[in-house]
Amino acid sequence: MSTTTRGFSGRRRQRTDGRLPPGQYDVGDAFPVLSAGPTPRVDLGTWDLTVQGQVDHVARWTWEDFTALPHEDITVDLHCVTAWSKFDTRWRGVSLDTLLEGISPGGSFVSAFCDGGYTTNLPLADLTGGRAWAVDGYGGAPLEPVHGGPVRLLVPHLYLWKSAKWLRGIAVTEHDEPGFWERFGYHGYGDPWREQRYAGG
C-alpha cells in the first residue's frame, strides 16, 4: 500500500505499513544508480571471489565455481542513505553463510573489496544468519553491470552503501577499518532503522 504526497522536492510516496525507515521515501519502480566511479569492465575469465585477511586459509572461487554454488532467491527492501527506499526487490545469489563456511576468522570485522577500489566495513556477524548474499541475479536476469554485476554484496538490513558492487572479496580484519564512504564521514554501521547515516549522528 502506498499513498502519494507532494513535498518540497516533488512527489514522494509514503508507506503506511511500517516498512519505511525514518527519513526515507518510497522510490517506486525507479532503481537509481549510485557509483563513486565508473562501472569497471570485469573479465569473467580472470574474475575470482576470495575470503581472505585474518583467516587460517584463503577461500577462492572462480566464476565457474561461484555459479556452481547453491543459489537462493531473495526478496528484500533496500534503503539508501540518500533517502530513497525500494521495496520487494528480487535478487538471486549465494548466502554469505555458504561462503564463510569452514573459515576460522581471526577477527570480528570485514572489509568488502571490489573491482574499482571501493571498500566498505561491516561486523562479520552481520554477514551471517541468512542476512547477506553475494548476488549475481536481479529481477530474474543476470545482475546488470551498473548495479554491480557480475556479483555484488547484498546486506539489506544496512544502508545500501554497505552492499558493495563489483565485489571481489571479503577480508577479515581484527579491527573495524573504515571503508570508502565511512572515511568520508558515513556511519560505521549504518542501520536505517536507527538513522545511522553519518558518524556521530
Ligand X SMILES: Nc1nc2c(c(=O)[nH]1)N[C@H]1C(S)=C(S)[C@@H](COP(=O)(O)O)O[C@H]1N2
Using the minimum distance from each CB to ligand X, give the nearer residue, 160 or 170: 160
161 binds Mo ion (CB under 5 A): yes
DSSP state of 192: G
Give the x-and-dash track for 14-53 against Mo ion (CB under 5 A): --------------------x-------------------
Q: How many residues bind Mo ion (CB under 5 A)?
A: 4
CB of 161 to ligand X, least distance (A): 4
Burial of 42 (0-12, 13-18, 19+ CB in 10 A): middle
CB of 144 to ligand X, least distance (A): 9
186 binds Mo ion (CB under 5 A): no
Round the CA-based radius of gyration of the chain to a whole number and report it.
17
Using the minimum distance from each CB to ligand X, give the nearer residue, 40 or 107: 40
First to last CA, the chain: 31
Question: What is the Cα–Cα distance from 78 to 157, expressed in whole angstroms?
Answer: 8
DSSP state of 21: -
DSSP E strand boundaries for 103-186: 109-114, 119-123, 133-138, 141-142, 152-154, 167-173
CB of 70 to ligand X, least distance (A): 24
Partner that binds at residue 171, options ligand X, Mo ion, none, CB closer than 5 to 8 Å by kind: none
In our burial notation (b when 16+ CB lie closer than 10 A, e otherwise), range 54-90 reads bbeeebebebeebeeeebeebebbbbbbeebbbbeee
Binding site for ligand X (CB under 6 A): 32-36, 80, 114, 116, 118, 147-148, 160-161, 163-166, 181
125: closest CA among 158, 147, 166?
158
CB of 188 to ligand X, least distance (A): 15
Give the x-and-dash track for 75-104 against Mo ion (CB under 5 A): -----xx-----------------------
Residues that bind Mo ion (CB under 5 A): 34, 80-81, 161
